[in-house]
Amino acid sequence: METIGEDLKRENSPRVDETPKKNKKPSFRRSEGGLDVFPISKGKRILQFLADYFLHFLFAIFIFTLAAFPISRAVVGSDDLQEKTNENTANEISLLVDNSLLYKENGDDGFETSLTYTQKLFAISLLNDSKTNNPFISYYRDVLSYEDDKINELYKEKDSKGFLSDVISQNTGLYTLKESYVTEFSPLLDEKDSLTEQGEKDYSSFSSSFFLPLYNLLISSLSDGSELPEGSELKNYSAYVKSNSDIKDTLDLALTIASYASYVLVWAIIFLLVPLVNSRGKSIGMMAMGINRVGSDNLRLLKKGERALYSVYPLIFDLSFIPFLPLAYISSISNLFDVPALDMVALASLLLVIVSLFVLLFDEYNKTLSDISSRSVNIDNESYDELLKVTEYGRK
């Protein structure tokens, strides 16, 4: 701990030991010059941070789940918006199917299942050297009126693993599959046949490195809609996409407001209200672990104004968990980090936490970044009780 001022260095005055020991037991000792007080250990300081951090996290999740998010959903009409999203998505799929850009094996197939079937039909069209069941011919040639050379450019651009040969089909005017892949994928022509193990691997690669990139390009063009001819019913596709994007923004905003409201409410209780009403200015975690925060230059308990200022630090440092508050409401882990208003703030907060941890590890008085900035230090109950016995500092 830092050495206190010269005016405090007198008989029976508390002072900080200037050569801290790794072994902090006992946490204080009497000496001829007064009382030597040691800060809590690095491990205990980390545990104190984690105790308050997880209390904040757990209570915030509780408030978010029980009240904040249900209220925000009701305000924006979440159920109606979700119904509208489903309707838009169904209309998108209908447009794709009606214009031979997506094929369904069964009438009730969803988009993912239909896309897998569409890929199979596309592969079969390449095997048969056929124009039918090829969504790219249906879109680029029939809708956008692309010349064959331009379609072939797109084929080659997206064929990153080299499934296509340099031979152009007399029938389709487009590049054909390499002979080795024609042989390997030929079981697709017979429902009773199946691909070899190597064929399965190559077909999976065909999907990820050729078909899906090419199909994503098609969907992007549809979503933009600028190339589509006037009067094309496919113009509606971009309107459905825009509507769903607006709905997502609204739902994300409701989620963001609910997350921050829960976060701030619990912070105000744990780190502002509790320390202000507690006689020693302790948070719940400090009470549980028997820790006191005192000024490092005078060993006094922090005044109420100082406690209020200190509460700003956990407000900033705990933001690293805020993307996890909607945990119970997400459909997949990837969606957990799909709200920039939460994610970017959390990342900045996490970087500060890491910096603070490094400061603690290398600081000889076991201080975090917030302790240094607030000119405070943490000591245990035993040390503070001993201070009260030999000084007047602990009294209000």
Provide the 10 A C-beta neighbour count for residue 108.
Answer: 6
Q: Are 278 and 287 in contact (CB under 8 A)?
A: yes
Q: Residue 192 burial by CB count (10 A; 0-12/13-18/19+): exposed, middle or buried?
A: exposed
Structure tokens at 247: 């709905």
Q: For residue 161, name the pLDDT band (cuts at 50, 70, 90).
A: very high
Place of tokens 């400061």: 359
Q: How far apart are CA 393 and CA 359, in angstroms?
A: 28
Q: Are 113 and 107 in contact (CB under 8 A)?
A: no
Angstrom distances, CA of residue 386 to CA of 11, 13, 294, 343, 382: 15, 11, 14, 45, 6
Angle at 246 between CA 242 and CA 252, to 5 degrees: 140
Give the model's pLDDT for residue 13: 46
pTM above 0.85, yes or no: no
Residues 276-281: contacts with CB within 8 Å, 24+ apart? 276/304, 276/307, 276/308, 280/384, 281/307
Q: Domains of the chain: which residue ranges?
A: 6-77+248-390, 100-232
Give the model's pLDDT for residue 204: 96
Angle at 183 between CA 180 and CA 188, to 5 degrees: 130
* Tens digit of each residue's pLDDT (9 = 90 or more) over 94-146: 999 999 999 998 888 889 999 999 999 999 999 999 999 999 999 999 999 99
Give the model's pLDDT for residue 335: 63
* Tens digit of each residue's pLDDT (9 = 90 or more) over 32-75: 556 677 888 999 999 999 999 999 999 999 999 999 999 999 99
* Tens digit of each residue's pLDDT (9 = 90 or more) over 174-200: 999 999 999 999 999 998 999 999 999
Give the model's pLDDT for residue 6: 36
3-state SS record for 366-395: CCCHHHHHHCEEEEEHHHHHHHHHHCCCCC
Q: Could you give phi then psi for residue 280, rounded to 5 degrees?
A: -105, 5
* Tens digit of each residue's pLDDT (9 = 90 or more) over 258-308: 999 999 999 999 999 999 999 999 999 999 999 999 998 888 899 999 999
Q: How far apart are CA 68 and CA 255, in angstroms?
A: 9
Query: Which of 28, 59, 55 has the alpha carbon at shortest distance from 294?
Result: 28
What is the average pLDDT across 345-368?
93
Q: What is the dihedral of CA 290, 294, 299, 300, to 10 degrees?
A: -110
Beta-carbon contacts of 364 under 8 Å, excluding residues fewer than 6 positions away, are 20
